[in-house]
Structure 1
């Protein structure tokens, strides 16, 4: 039985990870759960899965739930609590399902503790890919992608010689506004943006899908996961979200991974690799699907994707600045402080002012992240 801890257990990926665990109780046990402020759901998860260790976002929240936890459950809180769940206990694998750069230090702590990683927190590689991958190489742990696109590429490369890769293509649904012109985006609402046509995701990732920031973060993540130059990483619009990504080889052969749009499939594959178990997801019927369509990615229509790729190519602290600016801008949009198109404008203004630092250490990354957040909050 594999022992698992989940960072971000009450979010979209965290709850779907627990769906997988619940379907295979003989294969998995929960060692630790870390959540932010959704203590009601966390307590429900504790009663059902009986983790030995739990963490919440603050001391006040910890004091609030302490008496409601099952006997013997260790309780932690804050950033130190995330690190305890990630690096302490008996978990063999840590599923990093946190949203945003908050997952970086706990992921690094888990790697240093020799834990295998199921990575759903793409911002970890976006902000500090050089540090994370160096730690993975040094410790010899496994870092398995949970994002559907990166899981697809990982599966397509099984048994293949990496030197034979001509390129990889990450598919994109296009998000909530894929059929909107730029002019039509001027007056869209938060509710409009949160209605993703294909996937069930958290609010922040759904907004990132609408701006195509999410795809930009995935391009940067793919650069680190698969050690490929940006020139070999492509993005293609695929509204049906059936082909999750594909790889082209030097002989012009293409291997793609297909499936219904259900995150529990790549989550489960990361948990069980190299084995496959029966999945809770619906089986794909291509006959029912009927047809698959594709469109070239328009970087004028989606300037945030262009800025993400440019930041990735620049390296250093540029991806950190891009990500931090976006996190603040999206939070402001969700609070209805700014219109939708202002998200891209804030990212652009931040990047125009950013002084890049090459090969940053963790402290420099944290300082850049904090400074950009302050700047973006005031723009």
Structure 2
């Protein structure tokens, strides 16, 4: 097998750093040719010195100038809002790891699919916002969209036990987040520090807060709808605090296929890179005798109304995903800035969706307009 050329979008974040850990012992098989980050230019510079990519990209213009000043003589440096798009458009690569949180990476993701590349995609938002465009485009170009988040990676693996038409339902597991046992009254007084205290996973602040509201699971319902060609009522959620069973697929014959493993993002990252091969991974091996007992429970839709929202968006399609994703990003940022309470995040998103002028078959420009409108609407309503 020829040495695979890899681009990492979001190399300075949690997913990107885990991806580099996975790639470090496989340098004879994989060559990192492009790295992209947001504003942490010093971290990107250090990664460049270790992995020697051909191209660097930084979306923050100020940080990009610093990076270009320090590294411009050794590497090609792209800067600005469209730097990731330029990287994907210009670079010769086989696989791109999409590890950036948010819809900022959507144009670069679309371009990678247009080029027929393999995408190891950890970004929920791209499929939520533009799954109606990306899924058929991948079929047309031969691009491979392989999920990296643990739940959809598990579904991807379990579905190989049968055909899509044989699937009765997909069961996404959820840790329940830091507020799994909290009452509605307790949750209404939750602080930022409370919301960032995830019991299982080490993640960035935005996705950790999404886990606390269970908006992450709502987005995953929509993502699964597009990744696997399912109807919204074929996707269920079950709370599983140990995060050992990553997801399950039930077939029409009653068989249920589950993927189990220790909660370590390096495993699905490596699988997306090496699929269909399975290579030795640095993550810890699962010992079920140590785990002893696994618990499962139904999610509480009253305490976590985001789940209903996920099914609604998966059913409606169109611009609904773009609106919910953008409104949630804005509301989460307002919570992080201390401008709204934790309990106001999901109602803010619901209100924006209700006021949105829905487009059933949007193009990319329609989706980006819906995204921009939703962000502004959250801010407008907060200021009222």
TM-score (norm 1): 0.98
Contact 1:322 1:351 in 2 (8 A): yes
Q: Which residue of 1 aligns with 2:313?
A: 311
Q: Which residue of 2 aligns with 1:3?
A: 5
1:258 aligned to which of 247, 257, 260: 260
> Could you report, residue by residue, the CA deviation over 1:118-176 in whole angstroms, capped at 9, with x for unpaired residues?
11111111011111112101101111111100100111112522221111100000011
2:347 aligned to which of 345, 348, 352: 345
Contact 1:321 1:372 in 2 (8 A): yes
Q: Does 1:218 align with 2:200?
A: no
Q: Which residue of 1 aligns with 2:43?
A: 41
Cα distance in 2 between the residues matched to 1:204 and 1:348: 18
Cα distance in 1 between the residues matched to 2:116 and 2:256: 35
Q: Does 1:92 align with 2:82?
A: no
1:196 aligned to which of 184, 198, 201: 198
Unaligned runs of 5+ in 2: none
Cα distance in 2 between the residues matched to 1:284 and 1:23: 21
Q: Does 1:61 align with 2:28?
A: no
Q: Which residue of 2 aligns with 1:128?
A: 130
> Aligned-pair distance for 1:72?
3.7
Q: Which residue of 1 aligns with 2:106?
A: 104
> Could you report, residue by residue, the CA deviation over 1:64-92 in whole angstroms, capped at 9, with x for unpaired residues?
12232274411101232111222221210
Q: Does 1:150 align with 2:176?
A: no
Q: Which residue of 2 aligns with 1:183?
A: 185
> Aligned-pair distance for 1:59?
3.2
Residue aligned with 2:81, SS? helix
Residue aligned with 2:32, SS? strand
Cα distance in 2 between the residues matched to 1:223 and 1:20: 29
Contact 1:50 1:70 in 2 (8 A): no
TM-score (norm 2): 0.96
Q: Which residue of 1 aligns with 2:363?
A: 361
> Aligned-pair distance for 1:23?
2.6
Residue aligned with 1:158, SS? helix
Cα distance in 2 between the residues matched to 1:245 and 1:203: 23
> Aligned-pair distance for 1:280?
1.0
> Alpha carbons of 1:252 and 1:264: their partners in 2 closer, same or farther (altered >3 Å)?
same
Q: Which residue of 2 aligns with 1:292?
A: 294
Cα distance in 2 between the residues matched to 1:75 and 1:152: 36
> Could you report, residue by residue, the CA deviation over 1:83-132 in whole angstroms, capped at 9, with x for unpaired residues?
12222212100111110111211101111122211111111110111111
Q: Which residue of 2 aligns with 1:160?
A: 162
Cα distance in 2 between the residues matched to 1:62 and 1:320: 28
Residue aligned with 2:169, SS? strand
Q: Which residue of 2 aligns with 1:283?
A: 285
> Could you report, residue by residue, the CA deviation over 1:166-225 in whole angstroms, capped at 9, with x for unpaired residues?
111000000111111111112111111111100011110000000000001111010111
Cα distance in 2 between the residues matched to 1:352 and 1:16: 38
Cα distance in 2 between the residues matched to 1:88 and 1:160: 38
Q: Does 1:23 align with 2:19?
A: no
> Aligned-pair distance for 1:286?
0.6
Contact 1:165 1:248 in 2 (8 A): yes
Cα distance in 1 between the residues matched to 2:27 and 2:345: 43
Residue aligned with 1:34, SS? strand
Cα distance in 1 between the residues matched to 2:172 and 2:194: 25
Cα distance in 2 between the residues matched to 1:214 and 1:328: 15
Aligned residues: 379
> Aligned-pair distance for 1:61?
2.1
Cα distance in 1 between the residues matched to 2:200 and 2:257: 23
Cα distance in 1 between the residues matched to 2:326 and 2:237: 23
Cα distance in 1 between the residues matched to 2:117 and 2:37: 19
> Aligned-pair distance for 1:60?
2.6
Contact 1:7 1:86 in 2 (8 A): no
